[in-house]
Structure 1
Amino acid sequence: MPRNSGTNQPGGVQSVHRSLDLLEAVAARGGTLSIGEIAEVTGVPLPTTHRLLRTLVDRGYMRQMPDRRYALGFRLVPLGGSASAMAGAGTDRLLRGLVDALGETANLAMLDGDQVAYVAQAPGRHAMRMFTEVGRRVHPHCTAVGKALLASTPEADVRALLARTGLPRHTDHTLTDADAFVAALAQVREAGFALDEGEQEVGVRCVAVALGGGPLPLALSISGPAPRMTDELVAEAVPLLRRTASALVSEVS
């Protein structure tokens, strides 16, 4: 998360931006943070961080642990459930059908502004499996779902997005050149599916397809450790993903 992300927003209420920055900082680090760590990560002044945290704790969106560190509050749980339900009542069933057939984690993601947000997931059946928190937001240039979503976007809009976000390197395989990324999107359009070859996380491979014809910019994927996500499994997954995507369109329409 960039420092001072709240103060760099073009509009809105600064205190709201900052409160969301605090929540996202703790969520992104998967556990608990001290007030000093939260202020350092977000770039919000320490006195302001303290006031905002007290409000979030009072409302149940943050909680203070016995060691005085802060964690996400349980008030967020029903909100997350409500957000997931927006994807459609049968989404979980369809995602689990992919897991039953392929064994790997199934994800549903949407383009949300300049980022990709994961809106639903069914975990794979292996002991070692991929896990992405519902609600997590990532850059589209290094994910299969992001490529699948941007493949149908006009090139000028793609380049404008990349100019705003950049192409930050996450691994040695991340595409960090705009021309190379645009060329990769042309390959996605030709193939009808997108791949993430360890571009977001080392050792993780993902294959995705977009949900064409739906009211929301959604993409469906499966992901797993690269040794299990073989070319053979990808070839088996693509038609299943396409059929499931078609079924999901009716769920979200």
Structure 2
Amino acid sequence: MQSIGRAFALLETMAENAIPIGISQLSTLSGIPLPTVHRLVRTLTELGYLRQERSRRYVLSPRLIRLGDSSERTLTLFARPRLTGLVDELGETANLAMLDGDQIVYLTQVPSRYSVRMFTEIGRRMDPHCTAAGKAIMAGLPPGSALGILKRTGMPSHTATTITDRDRFMAQLAEVARQGYAVDEGEQENGVRCVAVAVHDTPVRLAISLSGPATRMTDELLRRAVPLLTDTARALSADLA
């Protein structure tokens, strides 16, 4: 059992870092003794779940995609009824997003009933600094990890309201962590407002968001939405436990 747990810990460490990693670095990051890491990496490579690069560092193998696709379908199965409840209660589009490497990827969505509504293509990737879901997730990361993402993405501007100053963004993350929710004030797309909360205690970094035209996503709607999003995130966390 200990070996199985450590093998998955290594895979999760590699997934979180998303770069080729050497044995010594993997031992340091995971906290697993070097001889044990060496043995487990050799076994995982022989089984086809890791691949050794020419640099002698290791990356996750494409064989894991099959497992990922299956788990993503399971996640969607649990999430959609929760998102549907939000749409029924609040009227706007509800989304489930995940931090994958340095980007936010949208996993599933339940659209608003309005004829004019927000639509985000499932699988679409965005820089996290300009999305409410990205902010909600990053607020739960260690400051060094959040800064690393900002440095690697470069914080490009998408609209006039996109935050591109690193210090200002980190200050906003501290506020998000304090209040428990994040807001995108048209920072990804003009005229679109979004509010999101993180889903805690799950194997991957998730957030649930509600998005719609700024004219309908009023402050009053946000006040109604935050407790409902928070309750939905807790329920989904329990579903996935």
Which runs of 5 or more structure 1 residues have no equivalent in the other structure? 1-8, 12-79
For 2:147 and 2:71, the matched residues in 1 are separated by 30
* TM-score for both structures, normalised by structure 1: 0.67
Gap change, CA 1:95 and 1:208, over 3 Å in 2: same
8 Å CA contact retained: 1:151, 1:189: yes
Q: Tell me the equivalent position of 1:233.
A: 221
Aligned partner of 1:221 among 209, 212, 217: 209
Q: Tell me the equivalent position of 2:126.
A: 138
TM-superposition CA deviations, 1:160-207 (whole Å, max 9, x none): 111111010000000001101101101101111000000000000000
Aligned AA (1:158): A
Q: Tell me the equivalent position of 1:57.
A: none
Aligned partner of 1:204 among 192, 202, 213: 192
Q: Tell me the equivalent position of 1:126.
A: 114
For 1:94 and 1:152, the matched residues in 2 are separated by 22
Which runs of 5 or more structure 2 residues have no equivalent in the other structure? 1-17, 21-67
**Number of equivalent positions:** 178
Shift of 1:159: 1.2
Q: Tell me the equivalent position of 1:154.
A: 142
8 Å CA contact retained: 1:84, 1:120: no
Aligned partner of 2:168 among 161, 172, 180: 180
Aligned AA (1:199): E
Q: Secondary structure at the match of 1:121?
A: strand
8 Å CA contact retained: 1:87, 1:120: no
Aligned AA (2:145): D
Q: Tell me the equivalent position of 1:22.
A: none
For 1:132 and 1:82, the matched residues in 2 are separated by 22
8 Å CA contact retained: 2:76, 2:108: no
For 2:134 and 2:112, the matched residues in 1 are separated by 21
The alignment status of 1:108 with 2:96, answered yes or no, reads yes
For 2:199 and 2:133, the matched residues in 1 are separated by 10
8 Å CA contact retained: 1:214, 1:252: yes
For 2:69 and 2:108, the matched residues in 1 are separated by 10
Q: Tell me the equivalent position of 2:73.
A: 85
The alignment status of 1:99 with 2:91, answered yes or no, reads no
CA RMSD, aligned part only?
Answer: 1.9
Shift of 1:90: 2.6
8 Å CA contact retained: 1:87, 1:251: no
Gap change, CA 1:134 and 1:158, over 3 Å in 2: same
Percent identity reads 55
* TM-score for both structures, normalised by structure 2: 0.70
- Greater helix content: 2
Q: Secondary structure at the match of 1:87?
A: helix
8 Å CA contact retained: 1:89, 1:251: no
